[in-house]
Chains A and B, each alone.
Chain A
Amino acid sequence: MVTLTAPEAPTVDALKEQAVDLAVSTVRELNQAIHTAVDGQAWTVTSPGGKHSLAVGIDADINVTIEGHAGYYAAGMHQKGDVTINGNAGVGLAENIMSGRVHVTGDASQSAAATGHGGLVVIDGNAGARCGISMKGVDIVVGGNIGHMSAFMAQAGRLVVCGDAGDALGDSIYEARLYVKGTVASLGADCIQKPLREEHLAELAELLAAAGRTDNPADFKRYGSARNLYHFHVDNSTSY
């Protein structure tokens, strides 16, 4: 017969920086540890080696720094905390982020911040295809370029691109606001350029500052929904 005993309460020192070396520890151990972490803790993760699902499911005000490149779905399902990846991130960075901040100093692969509901995702380098696909309130600031089909079916939030955007930007967009400093290869269905008014310059300045960037908001163009696609129009009644 096995006697089950209650696990001991974690006795972690909130002020002491925690270190996890993924050459020694497993990804499961890292994620379990940060799920039981308490507010104010700081974590440094070394030897990430492109492993998948690093620092996913954070739900506390903690700081996690990953020293190196991360694989797929890094900082996914993120809430409250702050994750910095000093390197590149693979597919699905900060997927479904709810709040908090995720910062990648290098490039991010495709589908960065997909379906994000809130929080801020900062990518200093380039982002691949489908950046901000189905974004639902997240703010994304990309220092470099973004790939094709970015902000596809975007519903809410802001996407700031300091470089160029690939083909079909904002295809089938609902209500997100997109700011691009460089060129846009092509706009997707129902995505149009819109005037950059004072309130847009102000929110852009705020987003750029939050991302630690010094770009001039006046250099950007704004894109958004023409609202033709998702409103029923009687002329299209025979199409349904």
Chain B
Amino acid sequence: MCGIAALQLRNPSLHPQMGSLLSSMLCQIVDRGPDSAGLAVYNTPGLVSPGTSTLSLLGKDQGMTTAAITAGVAALLPSDAAAAARVVGDTTLVSAAVGTDLLVKAVSETLPAATIIGRGEHVAVMKSVGHPMEIAAEHGLEAMAGSQGLSHTRMATESAVTAGGSHPFSVADDLCLVHNGSFSNHATVRRELKREGVVFDSENDTEVGARYVASRLKQGDTLEEALVNLGKVLDGFYTLVVTTADSMAVVRDPIACKPAIIAETDDYVAMASEYRALAGLPGINNARIFEPEPGKVYTWSL
């Protein structure tokens, strides 16, 4: 069992409340996954900025000060890249006005042991082990603004309870994936992706799903096509939520054991494992509320 809560805000006037709304949803899914948690927030001022790439690194302690990280990364980038490193909760964010590939190269050289858990122009990813609400509080979710937010509470089954095994998995620019369920043939798909040159960070089954989706998107699939293809290749139980810079997708496996409920209004699309996570959203009494059908891919774009 795991818990998912995701929110896409269609009405920009709600952007300042993104964090508080997501936090209120998250607190209702803690029971479903109390061992670890993760967050992905999009277009959050203070964490990311337009025209700048941001990498999210696992852990606040990278073995050197943020000033030293900034200097180390800056030395490897063009002088006008304005590299900057800072710590938010248990996450280190490094940003610079260069493409993500170049920034990944500079960060990997400066911090060879760092695990990159998020990358892109729009997204910041934060994850840790412990009580989900403490993780959210440590990162200051309540006060965050943004256009989209994704949260996950984990009850580990397929791999160890580690921060690296927490969701979301963000393996391509601005792409995040969270999973309630388990993939049964992840080892097979992992081997196939490795043969294609894909590099993995963890032993986690969901990372295979995320790498698979990233691989399909790279080959030209739309988000919807990538998830349809995922259903053909990956076997197991799943409710997945996938977010990109400007869209959100939900899909359940054809057996649909894992729950999902969606609320849609003119102001937002919200998805959660259980209705109680949606109950506190503004205008919920007039929202269109439905359970996504088995095996059907739903997408919403901003």
Q: How many residue pairs between the two chains, A and B, have CB atoms under 8 Å in the bound complex?
A: 43
The size of the chain A interface, using a CB distance under 8 A, is 18
A88, B256: Cβ atoms closer than 8 Å = no
Q: Verify if B149 is at the interface (C-beta below 8 Å from A).
A: no
Contacts of A52 in B (CB 8 A): 276
**Dominant SS at the B interface?**
loop
CA distance A148 to B274 in the complex (A): 20
A49, B291: Cβ atoms closer than 8 Å = no
Contacts of A69 in B (CB 8 A): 275, 279, 289
B294, A148: Cβ atoms closer than 8 Å = yes
Contacts of B279 in A (CB 8 A): 49-50, 69
Interface size band for B: 10 to 19
A49, B276: Cβ atoms closer than 8 Å = yes
Q: Verify if A225 is at the interface (C-beta below 8 Å from B).
A: no
For the complex of A and B, the 4 pairs showing the least CB-CB separation, nearest first, are A50-B276, A50-B275, A49-B279, A50-B279
Known contacts: A109-B259, A110-B256, A147-B256. The answer to whether A129 contacts B294 by CB under 8 A is: yes
**Dominant SS at the A interface?**
loop
A128, B276: Cβ atoms closer than 8 Å = no
How far, in Å, is A193 (CB) from chain B's closest CB? 24
B274, A71: Cβ atoms closer than 8 Å = yes
How far, in Å, is A99 (CB) from chain B's closest CB? 27
How far, in Å, is B171 (CB) from chain A's closest CB? 31
Q: Verify if A55 is at the interface (C-beta below 8 Å from B).
A: no
Name 14 A/B residue pairs within 8 A (Cβ), A-sorted.
A49-B279, A49-B280, A50-B28, A50-B279, A52-B276, A69-B275, A71-B275, A88-B275, A90-B275, A107-B290, A109-B259, A109-B261, A147-B256, A147-B293
Question: Interface 1/0s, chain A 39-80, versus B by CB < 8 A?
Answer: 000000000011110000000000000000101100000000
Contacts of B256 in A (CB 8 A): 110, 128-129, 147-148
